Amino acid sequence: MRRRFAVLLPLVAMLAACWQSDVPLIADKDAETPDIAGEYKEQGPGFAVTITRAGKDYTYQKREADGSLLRRQLRFDQLQQDYYLVQSRTLADTGGMEAPFYRLVRIRQGTITEYQPACGAPEITFEGVSSSEGDCSFTTYKGLRDAAMGRLERAQGGDPLSLTLEATYVK
């Protein structure tokens, strides 16, 4: 049993990968504004989610199971057709914003499907990317976008470990 766990540990670490940066990398000139404002229901737990738009940014709000309100600022960069790279910054109770993290989303027909990208050897070959314990840190927009396109292309090519389903929201 211990050997089986040792084999699964790298897979679990890869699936729990996080893409992050110290500062926001999607600039106004690169930001897209998909038509997603509205009320959604998160599939599974059934939480209500509200998304509003202000200029190039969106505010995501969700009431958590413990009653607390999760608020995030979102910014989108279109990768291809209905796939986007999303920059997400959690709004802290103190009024500030936490460091950004990144996901890929597919937006179509009143549904937003959110995917967490894996982090591995392909990403560290891109400009301004470093990896530590399965997490990718980005310092340039170019490296972030190149890595996102690479993960999307691998997922579309049939690599099941490139993207992990995170959540689905339906209007």
Query: Which candidate, 70, 69, 74, places its Cα nearest to that of 55?
Result: 74
Number of domains in the chain: 1
One-letter amino acid identity for 118? A
Q: What is the mean pLDDT of residues 137-165?
A: 94
Q: Is the pLDDT of residue 6 over 60?
A: no
How does pLDDT run across 98-107, given as a tens digit for each residue?
A: 999 999 999 9
* Cβ burial, residue 3 (10 Å; 0-12/13-18/19+): exposed
Q: Determine the structural domain holding residue 120 and report its residue range.
A: 2-170
Q: What is the pLDDT of residues 72-99, one digit of tens each?
A: 999 999 999 999 999 999 998 788 899 9
Return the amino acid letter for 44.
Answer: G
pTM (2 d.p.): 0.86
